[in-house]
A = this chain, B = another copy of it.
Amino acid sequence: MAEQHELRDKGLRLTPQRELVLSAVRELGHATPEEVAEKVRATHPGINLSTVYRNLETLENVGLVQHTHLGHGGATYHASEVLTHLHLVCGTCGSVGDAPIDVAANFVQNLADDYGFKTDVSHFAIYGLCAACVK
């Protein structure tokens, strides 16, 4: 079966908590540690916040999830697979929009050409005013 555990592959132990954290991140698309914990608790009530934090960190180390900074303070986690878009955060209404990563291709290229800087565009959100608030 192709179902060789990806967690095992990464050299991690396959614990129910760990799987739950990973699938919670995947289902939520993007979520704060607290939201992940909440989601996980829906099916496995006894889980501890510390465990969520530790697993998020662990999963990040092996590259299965990544975090982005959307707003003030709170980091937001994504499954790596879905990291194909930018986050457009509106400073006025607080909404978070998406944009395909290629609108930034040009920008990333500039940075690479002129500064040798290899940009990870999606790590930080793009801040500004959404179309609705511009009006």
Find out whether the CB atom of A117 lies under 8 angstroms from the CB atom of B130: yes
Bound together, the chains give a CA A72 to CA B56 distance in angstroms of: 15
Classify the secondary structure of A's interface with B.
Answer: mixed
* A72-B69, A72-B75 known; A118+B128 contact, CB < 8 A: yes
Q: Which residues of chain B are near A75, meaning CB under 8 Å?
A: 72-73
Closest Cβ neighbor of A132 among chain B residues: B116
Interface size on A (CB < 8 Å)?
Answer: 33
Bound together, the chains give a CA A127 to CA B104 distance in angstroms of: 13
* A126-B119, A128-B118, A134-B116 known; A103+B111 contact, CB < 8 A: yes
* A106-B107, A114-B103 known; A127+B134 contact, CB < 8 A: no
A9 within 8 A of B: no
Chain A residues numbered 57-88 whose CB sits less than 8 Å from any CB in chain B: 69, 72-73, 75, 88
* A117-B129, A131-B116 known; A103+B99 contact, CB < 8 A: no
Pick from B88, B107, B125: contact of A104, CB under 8 Å:
B107
In the complex, what's the smallest C-beta–C-beta distance from A96 to chain B, in angstroms?
A: 11
Bound together, the chains give a CA A115 to CA B133 distance in angstroms of: 12
